């Protein structure tokens, strides 16, 4: 059995108390697919997945192949998508293209790192909750980015596609090449995450009261403390009454510093995929197992 990393202990400050948290190892998709790391999906009541680079290429809609697979999966199990992306993006990438499914009541949408929660009820998408940042908090975040840029002597690229910052209500997202940058431009800008990790570490000095995570290929997401994908797992537990050990999470950024990494603090079983093709194969495998 191959694990991305062994269980390690990290310090987490939560409600002013120092607690020790066990980080659960994540499984490699390739090992789950070839059977060297077996997982009993029949015990899972809900499949939870990241969106960009896990289910789809960055900011692209679900492919027709994946729509078919998810439609079958929703017949057997609940499925939730937790993303750093906005509700608008979620509508474009998931909700609109899944509109033909007969099992939408089993689909849960958690945009902006689960600070928003939507479910399909009585024939329409219904808000369960939304938790937004105040204007004062947003201002502090923008000022911290400017301080970080000047500390790093960082110059924005000459070619920017759309806005550098996106206000998602409950989350501010910085995209180094702009919100609308094409996939090709993004690949290679920070493929080893080093540039953004350096930015994140400096930002954390200025706004320690906020949660800072790397998202997508070129983005940094800032939310209230404690708001990350682990928060989404806890909200699903609370709203659905499904235990964490009855969930499985699939993501492409489960490594330390990645925006899927926090889910590992919840103890949820997680599967690290390298791209959306692998994400699709894992979901296909789950459907095959559930169909028996
Ligand atoms: Mg991702």
Q: How far is the CA of 148 from the centre of ligand 1 (A)?
A: 24
Q: Give me the residue label for tokens 């960009």.
A: 52
CATH number assigned to the domain covering 135-224: 3.30.1240.20
Q: How far is the CA of 59 from the centre of ligand 1 (A)?
A: 10
Please state, in angstroms and rounded to a whole number, the distance separating the CA atoms of residues 155 and 149: 7
Q: What is the C-alpha R_g of the chain? A: 18
Please tell me the predicted confidence (pLDDT) of residue 16: 36
Q: How far is the CA of 81 from the centre of ligand 1 (A)?
A: 11
Please state, in angstroms and rounded to a whole number, the distance separating the CA atoms of residues 292 and 183: 38
* CA distances for 281 relative to 65, 110, 249, angstroms: 10, 23, 14
Please tell me the predicted confidence (pLDDT) of residue 168: 87
Please tell me the predicted confidence (pLDDT) of residue 21: 61
Q: How far is the CA of 272 from the centre of ligand 1 (A)?
A: 10
Q: How far is the CA of 58 from the centre of ligand 1 (A)?
A: 8
Nearest to 223 by CA among 155, 280, 291, 166: 166
* DSSP-derived pairing of the beta strands 46-49 and 27-28: unpaired
CATH topology of domain 9-131+227-291: Rossmann fold (3.40.50)
Q: How far is the CA of 122 from the centre of ligand 1 (A)?
A: 30
The ranges assigned to domains in the chain are 9-131+227-291, 135-224
Q: How far is the CA of 242 from the centre of ligand 1 (A)?
A: 24
* CA distances for 149 relative to 11, 143, 145, 203, 286, angstroms: 28, 10, 6, 9, 44
Q: How far is the CA of 253 from the centre of ligand 1 (A)?
A: 6
Please state, in angstroms and rounded to a whole number, the distance separating the CA atoms of residues 205 and 2: 35
Q: How far is the CA of 266 from the centre of ligand 1 (A)?
A: 18
Q: How far is the CA of 93 from the centre of ligand 1 (A)?
A: 13
Q: Residue 213, class by beta-carbon neighbours within 10 Å (0-12 exposed, 13-18 middle, 19+ buried)? A: buried
pLDDT in tens, the chain (292 residues): 343 433 332 333 333 333 456 799 999 999 999 999 989 999 999 999 999 999 999 889 999 999 999 999 999 999 999 998 889 999 999 999 999 999 999 999 999 889 899 999 999 999 999 889 999 999 999 999 999 999 999 999 999 999 999 998 888 999 999 999 998 888 889 989 999 999 999 999 999 999 898 888 899 999 898 888 999 999 999 999 999 999 999 999 999 878 899 999 999 999 999 999 999 999 999 999 999 7
Query: Starting at the edge strand that comes first in sequence, how are the strands of the sheet with 78-82 ordered?
Result: 27-28, 269-272, 247-251, 46-49, 78-82, 107-110, 116-121, 124-130
Q: How far is the CA of 252 from the centre of ligand 1 (A)?
A: 5
Q: How far is the CA of 244 from the centre of ligand 1 (A)?
A: 21
**CB–CB of 230/219 below 8 Å?**
no
Q: How far is the CA of 53 from the centre of ligand 1 (A)?
A: 5
Q: Residue 192, class by beta-carbon neighbours within 10 Å (0-12 exposed, 13-18 middle, 19+ buried)? A: exposed
Q: How far is the CA of 120 from the centre of ligand 1 (A)?
A: 23
Q: How far is the CA of 216 from the centre of ligand 1 (A)?
A: 5
Q: How far is the CA of 258 from the centre of ligand 1 (A)?
A: 8
């Amino acid at each position: 059995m191959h694990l991305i990393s062994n269980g390690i202990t990290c310090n987490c400050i939560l409600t002013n108390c120092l607690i020790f948290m066990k980080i659960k190892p994540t499984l490699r998709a390739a090992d789950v697919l070839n059977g060297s790391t077996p997982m009993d999906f029949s015990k899972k009541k809900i499949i939870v997945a990241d969106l960009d680079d896990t289910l789809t290429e960055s900011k692209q809609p679900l492919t027709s192949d994946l729509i078919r697979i998810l439609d079958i999966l929703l017949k057997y199990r609940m499925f939730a998508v937790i993303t750093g992306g906005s509700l608008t993006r979620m509508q474009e990438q998931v909700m609109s293209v899944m509109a033909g499914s007969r099992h939408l009541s089993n689909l849960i949408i958690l945009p902006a790192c689960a600070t928003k929660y939507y479910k399909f009820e009585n024939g329409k998408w219904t808000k369960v909750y939304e938790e937004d940042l105040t204007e004062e908090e947003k201002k502090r975040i923008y000022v911290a980015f400017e301080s970080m840029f000047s500390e790093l002597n960082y110059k924005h690229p000459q070619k920017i596609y759309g806005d550098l910052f996106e206000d998602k209500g409950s989350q501010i997202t910085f995209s180094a090449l702009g919100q609308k940058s094409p996939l090709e431009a993004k690949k290679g800008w920070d493929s080893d995450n080093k540039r953004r990790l350096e930015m994140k570490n400096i930002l954390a000095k200025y706004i320690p009261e906020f949660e800072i995570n790397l998202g997508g290929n070129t983005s940094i997401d800032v939310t209230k403390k404690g708001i990350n994908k682990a928060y989404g797992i806890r909200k699903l537990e609370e709203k659905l009454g499904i235990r964490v050990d009855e969930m499985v999470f699939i993501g492409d950024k489960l490594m330390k510093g990645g925006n899927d990494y926090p889910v590992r603090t919840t103890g949820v079983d997680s599967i690290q995929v390298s791209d959306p093709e692998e994400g699709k194969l894992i979901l296909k495998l789950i459907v095959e197992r559930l169909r028996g």
